Amino acid sequence: MKLPLPVFLQNRLGREIALAIAIKLVVIAAIFFAFFHGNTVATDPDAVAERLANPQQQTTH
């Protein structure tokens, strides 16, 4: 038995929009996992406070 499609997917434009949104979500998830997942930056609270207190001072890195 074939299940009926929701009303918005019965229209061609609705199917195309739903497909475009699904593809965009997959691309965004792929970009996130490729570039951001698991990457962390080590921060030193004292170095941040010093940099905020003296923004013109050169960093030692």
What does the pLDDT profile of the chain (61 residues) look like in tens digits?
A: 787 878 877 888 988 999 999 999 999 999 999 988 777 778 889 888 888 888 887 666 5
Indicate if the alpha-carbon torsion angle 41, 42, 44, 45 is positive or negative.
positive
Chain centroid to Cα 28, Å, comes to: 6
- With beta carbons less than 8 A apart as the criterion, state whether 52 and 46 touch: no
Distance between the two ends of the chain, CA-based, in angstroms? 67
The domain containing residue 28 runs over which residues? Answer: 7-53
- Total domains present in the chain: 1
Q: Is residue 61 part of a domain?
A: no
Question: The whole model's pTM is what?
Answer: 0.55
Q: Is residue 59 part of a domain?
A: no
Q: Is residue 60 part of a domain?
A: no
